[in-house]
Chain A
């Protein structure tokens, strides 16, 4: 499968625990984006990388959230001290910087905080 992949697909955790999600972009894509989607809403931008550099972070990304893309390939999104309000679908997308605008999404990681 040459599309964007995400792992795990589902995560259930207790409030206060830390969780980490992984995204593997399309192999030749140098831009990688993280979005959050709650029920009945469109995806909301969280942050994005060009290669290993994190270029922008949304105000939605509180200090409990951190994202990395250490080698410019896969990325991780960590949420520390999870809260019930963090329950959502976390989507990753990737694109080429030359064709920046066409973003292709992964299947998402559904997080449930109990």
Chain B
């Protein structure tokens, strides 16, 4: 089955700097890659997703890139703000279910 690896597990960046989270997946059948943000005690919220027919997608300060050949995908957050502090999960979907990575705890330092 699909296996999603995510790193780093913890990331601290200065406010205003960029943050990058990287993931790899194992199943070449995966064709949908969502990213979720989970604040403490809250539900995971879909922040951006990318499908396998595109290599990059951007939404304001958030961008995702996908390299299907290498089975890598990444989340980029620019101009980080305090409200970006949360746990971020990458995920891959080879069929109707989603397989999540273990998460990256992002700390935005003042």
Number of interface residues of A (CB under 8 A): 21
Say yes or no: B45 contacts A105, CB within 8 Å: yes
Interface residues of A in 94-114 (CB under 8 A from B): 100-108
Question: In the complex, which of the residues A41, A100, A103, A107 contacts B46, with contact meaning CB atoms closer than 8 Å?
Answer: A103
Contact among B36, B46, B97 with A45 in the assembled complex (CB-CB below 8 Å): B97
Main secondary structure of the interface of B (DSSP, over half): strand
Distance of A8 Cα from B30 Cα, bound (Å): 34
Closest to A6 in B: B43
Residues in B whose Cβ lies below 8 Å from that of A107:
42-43
B89 beta carbon closer than 8 Å to chain A: yes
Contacts of B34 in A (CB 8 A): 101-103
CA distance A33 to B100 in the complex (A): 14
Contacts of A104 in B (CB 8 A): 46
**Which of A31, A101, A102 gathers most chain B CB within 10 Å?**
A101
Q: Per-position contact with A for B25-38: 1 when CB-CB < 8 Å, else 0? A: 00000001010100
Q: Residues 88-110 of chain B: 1 if any A CB is under 8 Å from the residue's CB, otherwise 0? A: 01010100111111110000000
> Whose C-beta in chain A lies nearest to the C-beta of B99?
A45
Known: A101-B32, A101-B34, A102-B34. A44 touches B100 (CB 8 A): yes
Contact of A42 with B91 in the complex, beta carbons under 8 Å = yes
25 contacts between A and B (CB under 8 A): A33-B97, A33-B98, A40-B102, A41-B102, A41-B103, A42-B4, A42-B89, A42-B91, A42-B100, A42-B101, A43-B100, A44-B100, A48-B96, A56-B96, A100-B96, A101-B34, A101-B49, A101-B51, A102-B34, A102-B49, A103-B46, A103-B98, A104-B46, A105-B43, A108-B43
Other A-B pairs, 10, CB within 8 Å; known A43-B44, A106-B43: A31-B96, A42-B91, A42-B100, A45-B97, A48-B96, A56-B96, A101-B32, A101-B98, A102-B49, A107-B42
